[in-house]
Amino acid sequence: MKITVLAGGVGGARYLLGVRHWLQDSDGGDPAAQLTAIVNTADDLWLAGLRITPDLDTITYALAGVNDTTRGWGRAGDSEVVNGELAAWGVAWPWFTLGDLDIAASVARTAWLRDGVPLAEVVARLAARWDVGARLLPATGDEAETIVHLAQPTDDGRTELHFQEWWVRYRAALPAASFEVRGAAEARPSAGVLEAIAEADVVLLAPSNPVVSIGPILAIPGIREALRDTPAPVIGASPIIAGSVVRGMADACLTAIGVETSADAVARLHGSRTTGGLLDGWLVDTADADVVEGLVADGIPTRAVPLWMTDPATTARMVDAAISLAG
């Protein structure tokens, strides 16, 4: 079975581990040939002269099994020698730590980009070091980054921040008025993205941040249309369990766009495909079973199953529920 997944960073990585596990265990197939991840690139940025791609790196390292599971980002066993040197010179951001191995990957990435290699090919070259068991495609190779427009200016009078500064430095605590994916209108999907949606047997939305991970992927012209046109069912999983974001600060993003932090409000944000939205199906956690009936009435077939992605085998059961809902 050919599966295409739309994914952000940490939630996307956990979900992809489950999809890969499902393909190996239940489908008996070769995930490397059957699993495509379309990954958010709107968190990307230039820092110290380097192109940094946090969600792509998180997913690459997690699928390669070389990620740091304690810190939750970067490579296991990494050091921070270069980061300390940069800080001593006042280069980069003191609150944005990059490990030495991360910096090496970013040097390689930047070198290839400077040679004119498309980001999708750069990602493939970086991932080729390991057996990631999936094809990773950046949503776009063009620079289209999330800018947060603030409800009130910062102390130094700024009214907008790059997503990373808002998220990492301010921990999403400065109220946001809106999000803009700057450059999205001119951006093109990476080679293979539209085909991966059109030719999939099923398209899955990871339980990633709907506003700043899934939203920016949909903002790249052509991707939303491809999802509307694909014969494949599109099935999502809720990132919200019992009114809470599970991990992270996605509630700050939902609040900013006027959407309640609940499993059914996120489903309605995506909308039913029968009325021009995205979804042919939606999974909520068993703790949210009470919203199933209302969503079904609104044209979104919904099932309640455990949605805690504790390990790949557990997550694979959630993927199995998505596949059976698709069928």
Which two tokens mark 168?
Answer: 């990492």
| Three-state secondary structure call for residue 85 | helix
In the DSSP assignment, the letter for residue 91 is -
User: Considering only 175-183, 235-243, 264-272, 274-282, which stretch makes contact with ligand GDP by CB under 6 A?
Assistant: 235-243
307 is an interface residue for ligand GDP by CB under 6 A: yes
- Extended beta strands in 166-226, E state: 176-182, 202-205
Decide: 63 and 16 in contact? Cβ < 8 Å.
yes
Residue 88 CB, nearest approach to ligand GDP (Å): 29
Based on the shown chain and the rule CB under 6 A, indicate whether residue 209 belongs to the binding site for ligand GDP: yes
| Comparison of 86 and 119: residue with beta carbon closer to ligand GDP | 119
Closer residue to ligand GDP in complex, CB, 7/47? 7
Query: Using CA atoms, how far apart are residues 136 and 18, in angstroms rounded to an integer?
Result: 15
Residues 9-48, interacting with ligand GDP (CB under 6 A): 9-12, 14
Q: Which stretch binds ligand GDP (CB under 6 A): 76-84, 94-102, 119-127, 304-312?
A: 304-312
Print the binding letters for residues 54-73 with ligand GDP: x by CB under 6 A, - otherwise: -x--x---------------
Please return the burial class of 148, using the count of CB atoms within 10 Å of its CB with bins 0-12, 13-18 and 19+.
buried
Tokens 């990773």, located at residue: 136
Instruction: CB nearer to ligand GDP: give 72 or 153.
Output: 72
**Amino acid, res. 44:** D
Minimum CB distance to Ca ion, residue 249 (Å): 11
Q: For residue 233, state whether it binds ligand GDP (rule: CB under 6 A).
A: no
Burial 40-77 (b: 16+ CB within 10 A, else e): bbbbbbebbebbbbbbbbbbbbbbbebbbeeeebbbee
> What residues line the site for ligand GDP (CB under 6 A)?
7-12, 14, 55, 58, 206-209, 213, 237-239, 241, 245-248, 250, 307-309
> What residues line the site for Ca ion (CB under 5 A)?
8-9, 43, 55
